[in-house]
Amino acid sequence: MFEFEMFGGVILFLFVALAFSMFKVLREYERGVIFMLGRFYKVKGPGLIIVIPVLQQMVRVDLRTVVMDVPTQDVISRDNVSVQVNAVIYFRVLDPERAIIQVENFLEATSQLSQTTLRSVLGQHELDDMLAERDKLNADVQEILDKQTAAWGIKVANVEIKHVDLNETMIRAIAKQAEAERERRAKVIHAMGEAEAAEKLAEAAHVLAGQDQAIQLRYLQTLVEVAGDKSSTLVFPVPVDLIKKLSS
């Protein structure tokens, strides 16, 4: 009798535990993918749901945006420069059913796909593009990832390339190139100034050539400026034409 009551108590305890295990609570950002005897049944949640033990199994899926770091990748640019690039991607699950059924592990799959896509896209561009057109590269990688992960029920919202690291030799080469470019621009600007000054002097000479009085006044002005700066005696040659015009 005692053994029968004990056995009944165990059965009752198991029944109560089984009844409580039927109830699941899913948060607002969670969904439960329910399988009935191994076949997809439906997606439930959020809130309180019932999962029949043994007959049904549930897989939780988080619908919040996932921020995933892409490990540093070795990339060879189109102009044969070796760089190391890392990035971060932002994505979320839109369809829990496909995220569980269509791919074994959607987090790992998205991570691996982002690494290969990053190497593929950046390898098609030159180093200058990687450094100057990062926004365009981000958009290209995001577009490719979004198309490929759509079959998994995943939406890639954004991709950001964080660092493009160069080796020391390439950094020194870029610094020399930038310095040479600055020197080239300085020489070009100086040459343009000399050309403009020569042009203005030619115009002034043309004007003075047609005005004798202007030449005389300019000569006298130069004498005054030089005499004011020097305290010693200076001898200047005086053009004969100027003497004749002053004496006339």
Q: What is the pLDDT of residues 30-69, one digit of tens each?
A: 999 999 999 999 999 899 999 988 899 999 999 999 999 9
If one compares 234 and 110, the residue with the highest pLDDT of the two is 110
**What pLDDT does 131 receive?**
84
Model pLDDT for residues 128-153, shown as the tens digit of each residue? 888 889 999 999 999 999 999 999 99
Find, among 193, 189, 192, 169, the residue nearest to 181 by Cα: 189
Counted domains in the chain: 3
In a shared domain, residues 55 and 77:
no
End-to-end CA distance of the chain: 156
Q: Is the pTM of this model over 0.85?
A: no
In a shared domain, residues 106 and 46:
no
Find, among 43, 49, 57, the residue nearest to 26 by Cα: 49
pLDDT over 90 percentage in the chain? 45
In a shared domain, residues 112 and 73:
yes
**Average pLDDT value for the chain:** 82
Q: How far apart are CA 140 and CA 27, in angstroms?
A: 35
Q: Which of 26-30, 153-157, 187-191 has the lowest mean pLDDT?
A: 187-191
* Domain boundaries, position 115: 66-171
Assess if residue 185 is contained within a domain. no
In a shared domain, residues 45 and 142:
no
**What pLDDT does 47 receive?**
92
Residue 75, Cβ density class (10 Å: 0-12 exposed, 13-18 middle, ≥19 buried)? buried
